[in-house]
A and B are shown apart, each in its own frame.
Chain A
């Protein structure tokens, strides 16, 4: 009964979305206030209906209602409650329902908080948002209905893929979707502005918070996925350049570019065309990402659905929205000329450089991701594009970005002088170079990548600190500290997010360059030494290996002590699990987390001589990678808290100098 209710609510939501797509659009064109006013209650109603539908599906999972096909295929009565709930989106149908739920949530928030938007713009934004919704409702209802019943329900379900029964991965999809779908707001604003034929500072100020929110959720989502891969896949890799990862990384890169160039629109009324285009492309890549993940065209385990019909449908949605928006763009974009005037060296031009590097690096990832497909279709060659390609082709862009970042961040709007911008940074540069040199001296005989990474990371982190400090003006340190506290959230957010990027770079450099690995057969009771980079040296003792029964799995669990000298620093219990229902084994690495290093131990197979294969990794600075992502996300949140977005976006500051800002 409840499932049917959910099904019915979903159909109603689709109908409401259809109305929300058509009526306000006509109303905005004809200036009929009554028709435009439909958008807001429709958006709210649509959200409530999808929420009811989602709650119904969640209820079916929680109560293990195996008369639903989806629950039978993806759940089991013995599964822990947490994974019964997260199992709702651990499959194709449910994850699409989550997708439309978030889409409706964003639409409804635009209706709730958009009271100060121009009425025609708001009506159009909500209509465009609803049109995306209509396409996805149709997709769910016609090809991926989560509420299908089984004629004869089985006694128990087939369980969720055990790899997904993990806290890191359980919450990875909702965050990713908040990011993907959040970009739909930027898309709707861009298309609405194209229909409206007008982009101004107020528009930039409206788009930026949505983009910022989408970007920060994507950051958290990607970090969760990477962290999961690190501890779950059994050898501590954190990024694989897998098509599915790239699918989330491409919108992230474009969202980062978009939230930078939206600042130029907001403050300087320039780069409007490009910002619109980027907003369309960013959401376009979200759709392409959905296509890659959902269609299984570049298969991996995420592609639960290997059903070509679904793939074709998503491709059609992608083509329709991106193609339609780009056509509109081609027709209308020329109407939006820039007003702001700026020098060749200026904050504006630095942000143009930022956008070039981010957009081209996204392009590189895109080409690398689809190349195997292109090569097979066009040249009849079956080939692979793996991490060695991406490392070589992508990294230089990030290096260039990080070299430019601190200087660009110091440049003033309109006109900058290089000497002036560099002046407070010389100290940081010297420090960063010294640290790189020191690293190089310590790690004799290894590649230059680690010292380079160290230098760049410290340059970016130090640059962020100097940026903030110099914004506090001149005067005694006391005065500056006081003014520092009073700086707007935007300034703080910028510095924090930039520092986060540096922290992540530090972690990547440390982990990739200095990792130590020890693979051997250990007898129970045996103690041996693992030498790591620099002063680190650890003793590892295999105590015993036991069979342990879990709630829905059987585990082979080792007990291993780690010593530093004579002092025991950790007892680690790596496991190998077998999930009998799904018939799948997983490895559970045991990790002693530290600020400077992780000790990462994996238990392997029993050996003929009674020993066990034990893999020990010392992973320097590993946690800095995800710490940096968290810092970036915090930067985004701090920036969002800037009261300018709440006050000024509302008041639309229509006033400042009607007629653009003259140059100097």
Chain B
């Protein structure tokens, strides 16, 4: 589904070249370096696609970004340096794994915080249900009682 958008965009700007995703000529000779390149590629977003990493994307821009990542790696950059380089050029929009900086901390903490709250409420509820609360029971309404009588008579 996302791939389609890439095509649509590629066609819209008139650069229709159905280049496959990662193609053989891009691969690095050093397998260790290539593995790092793949790992990094899967963390970076193809800028013209919806939610597709450059590793998966068919778009020309994704190919350029893949080549750029590989160039940096061959030049001896560390993974973090490559990421910084990409962010500098394309902004944090390119990161599929959002940073924890600034307001993003809310995104990362939301789940665990909610879990603690939910465990608190759920635990409190379970604890409170240990004993029967002192309260009058509703029983059956008059209407239901009539129905029950009718059923029992049958």
Contact = CB atoms under 8 A, between A and B. Distances in A.
A342 interface: yes
Interface in B94-114: 94-98, 102-104, 107-108, 110-111, 114
Nearest to A162: B4
Contact of A338 (B3, B5, B23, B129): B129
Contacts of B21: 234-235
A106 to B, nearest CB: 26
28 contacts: A163-B4, A244-B1, A300-B2, A302-B1, A337-B135, A356-B115, A360-B118, A361-B111, A363-B110, A364-B114, A375-B103, A383-B95, A384-B92, A385-B98, A386-B43, A386-B51, A386-B53, A387-B96, A388-B42, A583-B11, A584-B8, A584-B11, A613-B24, A615-B20, A654-B140, A654-B148, A655-B148, A662-B132
A423 to B, nearest CB: 23
Contact of A584 (B4, B53, B135): B4
Given A243-B51, A337-B135, A382 B5 contact: no
B73 to A, nearest CB: 17
A487 interface: no
Interface stretch (A87-95, A345-353, A626-634): A345-353
A605 B20 contact: yes
A547 interface: no
Interface string B117-131: 011001001110111
B151 interface: yes
A201 to B, nearest CB: 12
B111 A352 contact: no
Contact of B110 (A348, A364, A382, A651): A364
Contacts of B98: 371, 383-385, 389
Contacts of B114: 360, 363-364
A97 interface: no
B41 to A, nearest CB: 12
Interface of B: 1-5, 7-8, 11, 18-25, 27, 42-43, 45, 50-53, 56, 58, 91-98, 102-104, 107-108, 110-111, 114-115, 118-119, 122, 125-127, 129-133, 135, 137-140, 143-144, 147-148, 151
Given A163-B1, A381-B92, A359 B118 contact: yes
Nearest to B93: A382
Nearest to B119: A356
Contact of A602 (B20, B53, B148): B20
Contact of B18 (A378, A386, A576): A576
Contact of A240 (B2, B95, B138): B2
Given A367-B111, A602-B20, A659 B1 contact: no
Contacts of A393: 108, 111
Contact of A654 (B1, B126, B132, B147): B147
A237 interface: yes
A96 to B, nearest CB: 19
A229 interface: yes
